[in-house]
Amino acid sequence: SPLRAPSHQALTVRSLLNTTAEEREKILEDVEYNIFSFPAGLVICDFLSDSGTSAMTDVQWAAMIRGDESYGRNWGYYCLLEAFRDVFERGNARQHAFQSILTGTATVEFYKNNLLKAHEGGFVNGGINQLEDPNFFILPQGRCAEFLLFSTLRGMIAESQQGTASGTPIVISNGFFDTTGANASAAGFVLETFTQPGLTDPFPEELIGKRNLFKGNLDVDATEAFLDEHAGQVALILMTITNNWAAAQPVSMANIRAAAELAKRKEIPLFFDACRFAENALFIQDFETGYSDKSIPEIVQEMFSYVDGFTISLKKDGLSNMGGVLCFRDKSLFAERHKGIGSHLKERQILLYGNDSYGGMSGRDLMTCVVGLYEVTKENYLHNRVLQVRSFAQKLLANNISVLSPPGGHAVYLDMDNFFYGCDRSPGDFAAVGFTLELLKEYGIRAAESGPFGWQWDKKSPEEQKKIPNLVRFAVPRHVMSDEHINYTVGAIKKLHDRRHAMPNVKITRGKDMRLRHFACGMKP
Ligand code: F0G
């Protein structure tokens, strides 16, 4: 493959503490073998999550100093509104808000003619109008946006259904992230997942980087068949881009378009869970016919033109350490069907998180999100980001370690059925958790099981069990890891693979029945 020039350089570094396997083993015991509870300061390579773990750019740090901590209408609020209009509706056409705030050149005229203007017809009607019929909500992170959306929506549906026999409302997705699914079901929705079949099907190694099957797609035919039976019951179709449930796999523009067409025909609102929208756009540019000449901002603009609204965690493709948003088009099926939902959402946003102009965020953090949205849509950055993940996967394959292929956007997933081939392990043994414990103990590398344990195989019907892939996820933080980290990790995985028969099975000793148990239960190898 052609040589690619680096996209960035490091200006600040952090030294790591050198710990021994014996020390880490003792601490693992102390934290009941729950990797989420293991102190990060003792980890050497942390692949637990790509969320909030990014190193920010110097422009983001500069913007942070320009954060405004006023209680009412801090200027970061206007910048974020403008950044959302710019990135998700206009193809990054303007960038003027943050630039004038960053350089301290915003005048009264600038406020009057730009920041305070109403903008009807989009995700941010904003400006002065945001007072009355808001459709844009700032929140501390993605799951708060999910909570606010699902709990408010469920309340409104319950009210409108009073006295009718309409049945429990349903949300359909190509793949729910764990907090998303938990928030929707805690609010009282039934979840239906229709991922395109074939996630774990083999993919020829020589085609990695040359072709992509968009394994994160929504199974539109299965969705339609389901809707034929239950259309009246379905409240929302939620497309996760990229599909974190399905191993960080991207979703094609054709699939988004088909889903939008189906949603329109069946009169069901379509939303994105848009956490990794920029990485998804890069896959479309790289692999989908008709998009190689389009810029990332143009692709993003088209993707979002098909949806009624979205939730987003700015901790991923906002390149920030904190932040989230819920927004929906003011002129959309969703807004029309749930008239007045904006004021309910706003009231609950204020009660739970803070006033609408900061939503639980500091003004400084708001500014990092504003700049992050522009930084993350730069092609040079995105290429290097996705290529780093791809090269991690290719190095593993070169060492005969099976990974889910083609590699997705933000993480590499080990295929644990293949890893343990011939070792006689069943899903309920949670041997993949045993592997992550050995990896942390022996090498100080933290990765997370994303299989029978994480997706609660032991509590599912046989039909549902069949859909659960047996994976371990190595999520790669943005701008943090070098080739040295990747090479060390590949070497460590290889050593554990060589003695895979000795990986322990794992038992849950405490908290087996908690929702989202992986964050808090106790275990024992
Ligand atoms: N949706 C998706 C697809 C996610 O991946 C996440 C978080 C969320 C929603 C929730 O956002 O963390 O800001 O509340 N994913 C992280 C991960 C935690 O490691 O995959 P949040």
DSSP string, 415-443: EHHHHTTTS---GGG-HHHHHHHHHHHHH
The ipTM estimated for the assembled molecules is 0.99
Confirm or reject: Cβ of 450 under 6 Å from ligand 1: no
Residue 169: is its pLDDT beyond 90? yes
Measure 313 CA to ligand 1 centroid, in angstroms.
7
| Tens digits of residue pLDDT in 248-259 | 999 999 999 999
Measure 275 CA to ligand 1 centroid, in angstroms.
7
Residue 93 has a pLDDT of: 78
- Whether CATH 1.10.3470.10 fits 21-50+379-524: no
Of 46, 5, 68, nearest to 364 by C-alpha is 68
What residues pair up with 411 in beta bridges, in sequence order?
475
Atom in ligand 1 nearest the alpha carbon of residue 324: 13
| Tens digits of residue pLDDT in 392-415 | 999 999 999 999 999 999 999 999
Q: Give φ, ψ of 173 to 5 degrees.
A: -145, 160
| Tens digits of residue pLDDT in 435-491 | 999 999 999 999 999 999 998 999 999 998 988 889 999 999 999 999 999 999 999
Atom in ligand 1 nearest the alpha carbon of residue 48: 19
| 298 vs 358: CA distance, rounded Å | 29
Residue 367: is its pLDDT beyond 80? yes
Measure 175 CA to ligand 1 centroid, in angstroms.
12
For ligand 1, atom 16: residue with the closest CA: 51
Q: Can you tell me which residue has the tokens 């191993």?
A: 247
Instruction: Please give the residue that has the higher pLDDT: either 167 or 24.
Output: 24
Instruction: Please state the domain extents for the chain.
Output: 21-50+379-524, 57-141+314-330+351-377, 142-267+276-312
Measure 316 CA to ligand 1 centroid, in angstroms.
8
Residue 246 has a pLDDT of: 92
Q: What is the mean pLDDT of residues 259-268?
A: 97
Measure 49 CA to ligand 1 centroid, in angstroms.
9
For ligand 1, atom 15: residue with the closest CA: 51
Instruction: Please give the residue that has the higher pLDDT: either 465 or 4.
Output: 465
pTM assigned to the model:
0.96
For ligand 1, atom 9: residue with the closest CA: 142
| 80 vs 358: CA distance, rounded Å | 10
Atom in ligand 1 nearest the alpha carbon of residue 314: 13
Confirm or reject: Cβ of 142 under 6 Å from ligand 1: yes
Confirm or reject: Cβ of 271 under 6 Å from ligand 1: no
| 522 vs 358: CA distance, rounded Å | 37
Residue 279 has a pLDDT of: 98
pLDDT-above-70 percentage for the chain:
98
Chain centroid, CA 523 distance in Å: 27
Residue 119 has a pLDDT of: 84
- 1 pLDDT band, cuts 50/70/90, is low
Residue 129 has a pLDDT of: 65
- 2 pLDDT band, cuts 50/70/90, is low
Average model confidence (pLDDT) for the chain?
94
Tokens at 457, concatenated: 């195989």
CATH code of 142-267+276-312, in short, is: 3.40.640.10
| Tens digits of residue pLDDT in 130-142 | 777 899 999 999 9
Confirm or reject: Cβ of 238 under 6 Å from ligand 1: no
| Tens digits of residue pLDDT in 414-424 | 999 999 999 99
Residue 4 has a pLDDT of: 80
- 92 pLDDT band, cuts 50/70/90, is confident
Confirm or reject: Cβ of 318 under 6 Å from ligand 1: no
For ligand 1, atom 18: residue with the closest CA: 51
Measure 459 CA to ligand 1 centroid, in angstroms.
23
Contact in structure between 496 and 435 (CB atoms under 8 Å) = yes
Confirm or reject: Cβ of 180 under 6 Å from ligand 1: yes
Q: Looking at this protein, which amino acid is placed at residue 372? A: G
Of 142, 92, 60, nearest to 369 by C-alpha is 60
Atom in ligand 1 nearest the alpha carbon of residue 323: 13
What DSSP element (H or E) covers 190? strand 190-193
Confirm or reject: Cβ of 240 under 6 Å from ligand 1: yes
Residue 286: is its pLDDT beyond 90? yes
Neighbours of 501 (CB within 10 A): 10
Residue 165 has a pLDDT of: 66
Measure 265 CA to ligand 1 centroid, in angstroms.
30
DSSP summary character for residue 517: G
Confirm or reject: Cβ of 313 under 6 Å from ligand 1: yes
